[in-house]
Structure 1
């Protein structure tokens, strides 16, 4: 790669590499396919690498996509003065993308996104929830169970509980019965999740409301929470299951589209009907930026009740850039397609860093 030309390196973990590793580790192929599908943004973005290269070239940058397994070598050869690293996938358990920002730091390279400690924290939902609660943010309290046994008992809940894997998705309940009225059922779900995915489950009081996605891209270095895009994500379901997720992205998503099973959720601006809730979400984002260190690119998932009460469900340091919601955000907030928005962000960051060097 060029050693003197400003360069954007995009590190990504392919679905197939993850799938093959999981199968080698003893996961059944069906489970490995489900788990590796969380890396579908790598699959979905790869056809646009040529477009990304062209948009970067127009801004005086080289674009170099690097698969995660090649990242140690590639980042070790990169020029710290002219290189910017953007990591597309996070993960410390099933996925390994959290190694990329750590490798960038090891080699003295500048990065887009949060520091590597948050790449680990965001993937452990029980621990991240504890940190968010300590920051005074409105995250539901949680219990933690492993294979039918409580590690931490959940709080009482008149509305029942929601059960989800601890390291495999913060809002996906896997199955339709992931909302349950009895803690015995919650423990049974923990057995099923452990058997299928070798994961603990977070058990939270069920919270009512509509699903909301807040997206952020710091296209300019001084961008603040005013650039947050906050939308209701209306899919017609109360929560997303694994089957719903598989129908949206990657190779499984393409198959779902071909079979006529794909239905893209509707995005509606929260501020149009609940401006008070939108204002609360911006304050939450500012607290996450100041107290947790989110920056550059991230997303937040929330539930918003009709009375504007907001529940913070999770944050993501690697939002699904090629997903429908982030593309819509780039168009509405920045008036750009995804490739141009990414290239412009990188060019602005490298220019700003050179100015302050």
Structure 2
């Protein structure tokens, strides 16, 4: 029997920027878009620590850039290989191909199946599916370069406009919260010009931002292992500039200038236990109804009266981000490298 191995597939920021430049994106916009892949940059600094943690558990750790994944996975032994996809993507990013390649090669994977990698990257389509499952998501319209594809519902609270397929707050500006539909259409023109993307337009939802994180280090756990925290950054919502200051290639300069401010994490259950219970019910519904498993995150808005709104879910949460590290420490009493290695060890110890 060959030595068990964990193959971590990731897409680097620089490879993405090179590809976007070849497609005609400006240097600035390519830099902004590629910052979605910042967790690859940040986690690469810890590949040695992950390899050491895996080695203590009798596992070989093989970090593999996405462009090399096809050959690497095709030649892997299904009896001894586990594939963990670090970065997703179906449009600007390509990580969604990794779990499909693993399935093609008959390899075991960490995380949801490849169909959900595609669904979560399209906010409008995923919202429609979530709504059909009875999940509380804001209704939405869709605009493309100043024209409505789907007119949003009338809202007395104003609107929030954001790119439909981009993540990490790319294309979210201070004026993304707007009052009138015409303002949302103007934002869609700006987004289309910079990123060639549609804009999802939803009624503005009041409340505090909540991040729910999940890693099934023990494969038998359920929503009781979900970490549910208010993410208080001092602002109503995070912008693209906020996100780029936290992670990846662009963060080092910001931190050096003293402009880095990590948001505060506060357990939702401490002040709003009913909202915490509702979030866990929603997570259970997503696991049962969609097949989410192993590793995921969800973003919510929670109002003072415990009303909960699901904004989006991720099948590739930012593992090296401050919130996921805090979750691993609080829930599992493990560092991030040890949490990754222990999760893999328990899966590889199961029969194929």
TM bucket (normalised to shorter chain) is over 0.9
Q: Counterpart of 2:82?
A: 84
Q: Partners in 1 of 2:141 and 2:326 — Cα distance?
A: 35
Contact conserved, 2:89 with 2:96, CA < 8 A, in 1?
A: yes
1:225 correspondence with 2:220: no
Trace 1:21-36 onto structure 2 (pairs within 5 A). 21-36=19-34
Paired with 1:119 and 1:200, the residues of 2 have a C-alpha distance of 19
SS in 2 for 1:84: strand
Say if 2:281 is the partner of 1:267: no
Residues 1:61 and 2:78 aligned together: no
**171 and 137 in structure 1: CA distance in 2 versus 1, 3 angstrom threshold:** farther
Task: Give RMSD over aligned pairs.
Answer: 1.0
How many Å separate the matches in 1 of 2:228 and 2:196?
Answer: 34
1:339: which partner in 2? 337
Aligned length: 352
The corresponding residue for 2:321 is: 323
User: Does the CA-based 8 Å contact 1:216-1:296 persist in structure 2?
Assistant: yes
Give 2:110's match in structure 1, choosing from 109, 112, 121.
112
Pairing partner for 1:308 from 306, 309, 334: 306
1:169 Cα deviation (Å)? Answer: 2.5
User: Structure 2 unaligned runs (5+)?
Assistant: none
Q: Distance in 2 between matches of 1:173 and 1:147?
A: 14
Find the counterpart in structure 2 of residue 201 from structure 1: 199
- Contact 2:4–2:80 (8 Å) recurs in 1: yes
Q: Which moved more, 1:45-54 or 1:170-179?
A: 170-179
SS at match of 2:37: helix
**Offset at 1:305?**
0.3
Residue 299 of structure 1 corresponds to 297
Q: Is the 8 A contact 1:13 1:96 kept in 2?
A: yes
Q: Tell me if structure 2 keeps the 8 A contact 1:88–1:318.
A: yes
State whether structure 2 residue 164 is matched by structure 1 residue 169: no
How far apart, CA to CA, are the structure 2 residues paired with 1:173 and 1:304? 23
**2-side partners of 1:90 and 1:49: how far apart?**
19
- Structure 1 runs (4+) deviating above 4 angstroms are 170-173
Give 1:254 deviation, angstroms: 1.1
> Residues of 1 paired with 2:219 and 2:245: CA distance?
35
SS of 1:214's partner is: strand
Deviation at 1:171, TM superposition (A): 5.9
Deviation digits for residues 101-134 of structure 1, max 9, x if unmatched?
Answer: 0000000000000000000000000000000000
Aligned equivalents of 1:77 and 1:258: distance in 2? 43
Unaligned runs of 5+ in 1: none
Cα drift, residue 174 of structure 1: 1.6
Q: Is the 8 A contact 1:171 1:313 kept in 2?
A: no
Match of 1:280 in 2: 278
**CA deviation map 1:183-211 (0-9, x unaligned):** 11110110000001000000000000000
Distance 1:199 1:118 in 2: 20
Alignment of structure 1 residues 118-133 onto 2, 5 Å: 118-133=116-131
